[in-house]
C-alpha cells in the first residue's frame, strides 16, 4: 500500500478564520488510515457537511469583526480585543 503522506499526524494550516472548524474534522480522521486520497476527501467532505450552518456563519462574523479592527487600526499591529 502506498503511503499518502510522510507525516504521521494530520497537519492543518493555522488559519484564525477557520480555526474553530478544524478540530471537528481533525478529531474525526485522527487515528484512521484511509485507503486512498479519494476516501479521505469523501470523509472530510462528509464531516464538513455535518457542521451546522450556524457554526460557519459564526466563523464569518468573527472574521468580519477582526477585519474591522484591522481597518480601524489602519493596518498597524495590535494584540487582543
Residue 14 CA to residue 16 CA, distance in Å, equals 6
DSSP H or E stretch at residue 54: helix 53-72
Mean pLDDT of the chain: 78
- pLDDT on residue 17: 60
The 8-class DSSP code of residue 74 comes to T
| pLDDT-derived band at 1, boundaries 50, 70, 90 | very low
Residue 58 CA to residue 45 CA, distance in Å, equals 19
For every residue of 11-24, DSSP letters joined together read: -----TTTGGGHHH
pLDDT digits (tens, 9 = 90+) for 11-41: 555 556 666 677 777 887 788 888 888 998 8
pTM of the model: 0.50
Amino acid at each position: 500500500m502506498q503511503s499518502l503522506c510522510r507525516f504521521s499526524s494530520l497537519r492543518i494550516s493555522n488559519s484564525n478564520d477557520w480555526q474553530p472548524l478544524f478540530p471537528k474534522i481533525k478529531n474525526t480522521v485522527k487515528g484512521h488510515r484511509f485507503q486512498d486520497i479519494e476516501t479521505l476527501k469523501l470523509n472530510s467532505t462528509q464531516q464538513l457537511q455535518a457542521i451546522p450552518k450556524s457554526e460557519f456563519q459564526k466563523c464569518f462574523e468573527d472574521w468580519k469583526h477582526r477585519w474591522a479592527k484591522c481597518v480601524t487600526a489602519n493596518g498597524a499591529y495590535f494584540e487582543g480585543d
